[in-house]
């Protein structure tokens, strides 16, 4: 087979990872295969989607040519508390390949057996959460949001014990890199400046090549760029109602891609306090808290970079603080622009902030669904009966909005902007649970495949969309997600 993986992380040296092979599984079988991604990676030229070998390769039972399996070292702040040693406990980075557009992509197996970082974990992944990670990644990707993506889910034929016995699975994951804020924290905690600098230069080469050749300035510029991408990412999450659920620094990428879909969920009824994760009792990672947490995570990244930013600690703190202080303005500006587009305004004015916050208050008070409401507003621009209905439901607000739109430009353009900004369909919690239940119980992925097909065209109504637009009858009351996956 021609495909040969490279692994540039290996060149960083032994302090950065532990070389360790995946642990073979009993009876690997292909459950989900991501054809569009395989095509983007030019894999289907060499790997036949029908071949039994796929299950061997993406379970870790056989290694793809050139694989150099390793578990990466990282630390992290979990729910605000620093843990100096985390690392890939159940994942193996196999190497990297070049996709169709010439971009380098890393291939990692998750659930492929315990690594030296596993502590007490079993190194395994349950089928349900693996299906969920696959579907969520594809849904976000289709909505245009930076994310890691799953290439395959392989069932292992083994049982994984969580609260109950589950079928085991190995997920293969594609990312532009698996660098996390926690990767930097790992070396900062060990006061290993040389490794930190190596990591910075690796991140710059991989994600921010325009910073090469910027000398000592590159460290603060790296911070600025990572912050920039994290702001964009959170604004995008807020656009679609995504709640990550566990925004620890070890789950925050340097690339700005969404990673580690553990207890994530979608907000139905608009409420910034929405939180579904069973362990997040204080609501640290609630929907509306995500910008503040992203800012907090960037401060943790900044701390790791201080000794590189300037030799004089006081100067370093000043420089980093100036950068971090920019977070709020940048976020607010992009958030307002994004929200303005959700209501069809492309030339936002300062006064639009009030229009937007009044709409959100109204949705919250009337317990209206976030996704459905913006879709109805969009459609109302060409449906007089729906416009009338919304006029009754939203009162003065609807009239004010209409008046505002008439000053912004053509209604047709407003509607087209809204169509591009407001998804028609999202991976709703109850739908996701049902799809996972059916798929795991029947040992058949067709329910998941159908869901995926719909989620892959989030802005276009097809004859299959409608059933998946239905909101949950109990508005997700009592819905809970779990971390131990
Ligand atoms: P997470 O909460 O999934 O982001 O994981 C936090 C840490 O726990 C990471 O270091 C994971 O690699 C590790 N971990 C989670 N689940 C397992 C498991 N079943 N076996 C080994 N390590 C795990
Ligand atoms: Mg994680």
The tens digit of pLDDT for each residue in 239-255 reads 999 999 999 999 999 99
Instruction: Please check whether residues 28 and 113 belong to one and the same domain.
Output: yes
Average pLDDT of 204-223? 97
* Residue 93, pLDDT score: 98
Report which ligand 1 atom has the smallest distance to the Cα of 115: 21
Report which ligand 1 atom has the smallest distance to the Cα of 250: 4
Residue 380: Cβ-neighbour burial (10 angstroms; 0-12, 13-18, 19+): buried
Ligand 1 pocket check: which of 110, 118, 132 to mutate, most ligand atoms within 8 Å of Cβ?
118
Neighbours of 118 (CB within 10 A): 17
Instruction: Please check whether residues 250 and 305 belong to one and the same domain.
Output: yes
Q: How far apart are CA 161 and CA 255, in angstroms?
A: 33
The answer to the question of residue 438 being in a domain is no
Task: Give percent of the chain with pLDDT exceeding 90.
Answer: 94
Tokens read off for 238: 């807020």
> What's the gap in Å between 385 CA and the centre of ligand 1?
52
**Which of 15-29, 38-52, 307-321, 457-471 is the least confident region?**
38-52
* Residue 129, pLDDT score: 97
Task: Report whether pLDDT(1) > 80.
Answer: no
Each residue's pLDDT tens digit, 449-469: 999 999 999 999 999 999 999
Task: Report whether pLDDT(2) > 90.
Answer: no
Instruction: Please check whether residues 81 and 224 belong to one and the same domain.
Output: no
Domain final residue, candidates 334, 360, 375: 334
The answer to the question of residue 138 being in a domain is yes
Q: How many structural domains comprise the chain?
A: 2
The answer to the question of residue 231 being in a domain is yes
Task: Report whether pLDDT(69) > 80.
Answer: yes
* Structural domain range at position 252: 216-334
The answer to the question of residue 392 being in a domain is no
Domain final residue, candidates 275, 304, 334: 334
* Residue 51, pLDDT score: 87
Task: Give percent of the chain with pLDDT exceeding 70.
Answer: 100
> What's the gap in Å between 111 CA and the centre of ligand 1?
9
* Residue 406, pLDDT score: 93
* Residue 115, pLDDT score: 98
- Which residues, judged by CB distance below 6 Å to any ligand atom, belong to the binding site of ligand 1? 86-90, 114, 117-118, 121-124, 246, 251, 260, 262, 483
**Which of 4-8, 169-173, 434-438 is the least confident region?**
4-8
Tokens read off for 78: 């979990």
Tokens read off for 320: 């980093």
Q: For residue 477, give the DSSP letter.
A: T
Neighbours of 352 (CB within 10 A): 18
Q: How far apart are CA 479 and CA 29, in angstroms?
A: 31
Which helix (H) or strand (E) segment holds residue 450: the answer is helix 446-455
* Residue 278, pLDDT score: 93
The answer to the question of residue 370 being in a domain is no
Residue 76: strand pairing partners: 83
Instruction: Please check whether residues 156 and 303 belong to one and the same domain.
Output: no
Name the residue at shortest CA distance from atom 13 of ligand 1: 89
Instruction: Please check whether residues 171 and 274 belong to one and the same domain.
Output: no
Q: For residue 147, give the DSSP letter.
A: B
* Residue 50, pLDDT score: 84
Active site residue 99: no
The answer to the question of residue 86 being in a domain is yes
Domain final residue, candidates 334, 366, 382: 334
User: 3-class SS at 446?
Assistant: helix
User: 3-class SS at 265?
Assistant: strand
pTM: 0.98
The answer to the question of residue 222 being in a domain is yes
Ligand 1 pocket check: which of 71, 79, 89, 171 to mutate, most ligand atoms within 8 Å of Cβ?
89
Each residue's pLDDT tens digit, 70-127: 999 999 999 999 999 999 999 999 999 999 999 999 999 999 999 999 999 999 999 9
Task: Report whether pLDDT(281) > 80.
Answer: yes
The answer to the question of residue 3 being in a domain is no
Each residue's pLDDT tens digit, 421-430: 999 999 999 9
* Residue 33, pLDDT score: 97
Band of the pLDDT at 204, cuts 50, 70, 90? very high
Instruction: Please check whether residues 266 and 318 belong to one and the same domain.
Output: yes
Q: How far is CA 377 from CA 290, 351, 391, in A?
A: 26, 20, 10
Instruction: Please check whether residues 151 and 242 belong to one and the same domain.
Output: no
Q: For residue 472, give the DSSP letter.
A: P
* Residue 47, pLDDT score: 86
* Residue 408, pLDDT score: 80
């Amino acid at each position: 087979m021609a495909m040969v993986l490279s692994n540039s992380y290996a060149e960083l040296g032994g302090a950065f990872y532990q070389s360790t092979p995946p642990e073979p599984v009993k009876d690997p079988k292909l459950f989900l295969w991501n054809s569009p991604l395989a095509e983007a990676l030019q894999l289907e030229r060499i790997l036949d989607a029908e071949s039994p070998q796929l299950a061997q390769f993406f379970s870790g039972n056989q290694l793809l040519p050139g694989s150099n399996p390793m578990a990466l070292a990282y630390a992290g702040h979990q729910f605000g508390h620093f843990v100096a040693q985390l690392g890939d406990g159940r994942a193996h980075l196999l190497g990297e390949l070049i996709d169709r557009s010439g971009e380098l992509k890393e291939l990692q197996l998750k659930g492929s057996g315990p690594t030296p970082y596993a502590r007490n974990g079993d190194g395994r992944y349950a089928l349900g959460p693996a299906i969920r990670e696959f579907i969520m990644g594809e849904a976000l990707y289709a909505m245009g949001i930076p994310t890691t993506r799953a290439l395959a889910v392989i069932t292992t034929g083994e049982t994984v014990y969580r609260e109950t016995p589950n079928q085991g699975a190995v997920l293969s994951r594609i990312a532009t890199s698996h660098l996390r804020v926690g990767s930097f924290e790992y070396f900062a905690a060990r006061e290993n400046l040389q490794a930190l600098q190596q990591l910075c230069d690796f991140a710059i080469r991989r994600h921010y090549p325009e910073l090469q050749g910027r000398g000592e300035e590159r460290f603060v510029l790296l911070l600025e760029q990572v912050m920039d991408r994290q702001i964009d990412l959170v604004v995008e999450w807020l656009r679609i109602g995504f709640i990550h659920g566990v925004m620890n620094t070890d789950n925050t990428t340097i690339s700005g891609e969404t990673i580690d879909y553990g207890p994530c969920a979608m907000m139905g009824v608009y409420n910034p306090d929405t939180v579904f994760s069973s362990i997040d009792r204080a609501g640290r990672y609630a929907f509306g808290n995500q910008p503040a947490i992203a800012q907090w995570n960037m401060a943790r990244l900044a701390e790791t970079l201080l000794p590189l930013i300037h030799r004089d600690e006081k100067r370093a703190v000043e420089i980093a603080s100036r950068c971090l202080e920019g977070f709020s303005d940048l976020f607010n500006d992009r958030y307002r622009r994004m929200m303005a587009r959700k209501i069809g305004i492309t030339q936002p004015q300062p006064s639009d902030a009030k229009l937007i916050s009044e709409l959100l208050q109204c949705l919250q008070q009337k317990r209206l669904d976030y996704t459905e409401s913006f879709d109805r507003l969009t459609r109302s621009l060409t449906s007089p009966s729906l416009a009338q209905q919304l006029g009754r439901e939203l009162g003065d607000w609807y009239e004010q909005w209409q008046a505002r739109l008439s000053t912004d430009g053509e209604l047709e353009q407003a509607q087209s902007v809204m169509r591009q900004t407001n998804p028609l369909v999202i991976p709703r919690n109850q739908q996701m649970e049902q799809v996972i239940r059916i798929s795991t119980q029947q040992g058949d992925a067709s329910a998941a495949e159908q869901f995926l097909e719909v989620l892959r065209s989030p802005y276009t109504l097809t004859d299959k969309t409608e059933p998946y637009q239905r909101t949950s009858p109990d508005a997700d009351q009592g819905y809970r997600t779990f971390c131990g996956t």
